[in-house]
Amino acid sequence: MANLQIRLEDSLKLQAQNVAESMGLDLTQAVRLFLHQMIRENGLPFRPTADPFYSEKNIRHLEKVVDDLNTRRNTVFHDLI
């Protein structure tokens, strides 16, 4: 039987252990399940996606909104009650 060693932050390991334990597993069993699923699907058992908040289009929009606020364009200011 082979050994697998990985380096990760202590907090990540602890959080992963807590999730695994909440499902009645230890971390070794959870990693083994992940690897079996990876083999079954011939790829990752989840679809990695980028957070759309950080997309180039959204960043440009946010920069425009900030510029509009700083120059008081396209904004309506209301007094707070």
From first to last of the 81 residues of the chain, give the pLDDT tens digit. 999 999 999 999 999 999 999 999 999 999 999 999 999 999 999 887 778 888 889 999 999 999 999 998 888 878 876
CA of 57: how far to CAs of 28, 61, 62, 64, 81, in Å? 41, 6, 9, 11, 35
Q: Where are the domains of the chain?
A: 10-71
In this prediction, residue 81 carries a pLDDT of 66
In this prediction, residue 48 carries a pLDDT of 77
3-state secondary structure 18-65: HHHHHCCCCHHHHHHHHHHHHHHHCCCCCCCCCCHHHCHHHHHHHHHH
* 74 vs 72: CA distance, rounded Å: 7
Give the global pTM.
Answer: 0.59
